[in-house]
Chain A
Amino acid sequence: MNRPFALIVTDTSPLLTLVLADSLDVLLRPGLPISIPDAVYVEATRVRGSPGADQIVAWINAHLDWVRIVPTDIGIDQQRRLEEGRSIRGLGEQAALEALERFLRSNPTAEALLLFEDSDVQKRRAVVDERVSLISTGEFLRELEAAGLIQSTDHILDRATARGRNVARLREIGDHDPTRERLRDQMVRRRDAPPTKR
């Protein structure tokens, strides 16, 4: 492809689905440059140690020739909101639209493909511009499956939900860990106890 082109990730869900399925590399299979708006990147990775976060960071660093983080004004606003403890919901998609507009403005022949979450792309009206195409995570995987590049779309989605389920279980166990509860009780008792003389 000779014209300027970008596959823009509009939301955390494709990244999180693929990273939990250990399948982020499928994004590289079409050989298209991938742009991840800063707000999407931050939303997916800001909690260090959260499921998939470290893997996403490592994957991007391992593929800097194909994957880039796009700085946006929305990303700056997101930082401010995080500092102030305000909601950042929906900012990933807004940042993607900002990244798209800048990219299309940069060159009249530029074309972009937006990667969306499936239910959103089916029901919510997205950008209408002849130079912009859309694809969902599921549609993307189905194309790879049809080309014989992955075992099956369902297999990847099942792996993602299985890992998500394990994460949820670990959280539940963590929330009900008796050792942690004892430690918490001990700390509360110590906090409430009168200071001892030295």
Chain B
Amino acid sequence: MVADEREALTRQYAAGEITWWTLRDRGLDNYVEVLGQLGKLGLRPPIARDEGPNMAARSRGRTLIRDALKTHLP
């Protein structure tokens, strides 16, 4: 994969336009390299927005972690 294509894909990934799954499909399948490319471009990995097909399960997940942290706070 040429550098320009890798950079374009990484930018799309950071912007939340394509998924990690898509990156792998396009040949960028080493996540350490993805992190390195993000660092080189001054970008961060995307954080999931509150939308999409899994909202109910994700909401349960956050509540679960919040409750677990309350129980285990030092």
Which residues from chain B contact A12 at a C-beta distance below 8 Å? 31
Q: Is B19's CB under 8 angstroms from A17's CB? A: no
On chain A, the residues within 8 Å of B61 by CB distance are 113-114, 133-135, 139
Is the pair A20, B32 in contact by a Cβ cutoff of 8 Å?
Answer: yes
Q: Which residue of A lies closest to B13 (CB)?
A: A119
Q: A20-B32, A52-B32, A119-B19 are in contact. Are A140 and B47 (CB under 8 A)?
A: no
A52 to B45, CA, bound (A): 17
Task: Tell yes or no: A107 within 8 A of B by CB.
Answer: no
Q: Does A109 contact B (CB under 8 A)?
A: no
Q: Does B1 contact A (CB under 8 A)?
A: no
A-B contact count (CB 8 A): 161
A121: interface (CB < 8 Å): yes
Cβ contact within 8 Å between B45 and A161: yes
Contact among A113, A119, A144, A161 for B16, CB-based, below 8 A: A119
Which of A28-36, A77-85, A188-196 is near enough to bind chain B? A28-36
Instruction: Judge whether A76 is part of the interface by a CB distance below 8 angstroms.
Output: no
Q: Is there a chain B Cβ closer than 8 Å to A120's Cβ?
A: yes
A70 to B48, CA, bound (A): 27
Residue among B16, B40, B54 with most chain A CB within 10 A: B54
The 8 A CB mask of A147-170 against B (1 = contact, 0 = none) is 101000110011011111111100
Assess the B69–A147 pair: CB atoms within 8 A: yes
> Can you list 29 contacts pairing A with B, beta carbon distance less than 8 Å?
A13-B45, A17-B35, A17-B45, A20-B35, A30-B69, A32-B68, A51-B32, A89-B29, A113-B61, A118-B46, A121-B58, A122-B46, A122-B54, A126-B57, A128-B57, A133-B60, A133-B61, A134-B57, A134-B58, A135-B65, A136-B47, A136-B58, A139-B48, A142-B47, A143-B69, A147-B69, A161-B38, A165-B40, A166-B36
**Residues of A at under 8 Å CB distance from B?**
1, 11-13, 16-17, 20, 29-32, 50-52, 89-90, 113-114, 117-128, 132-140, 142-144, 146-147, 149, 153-154, 157-158, 160-168
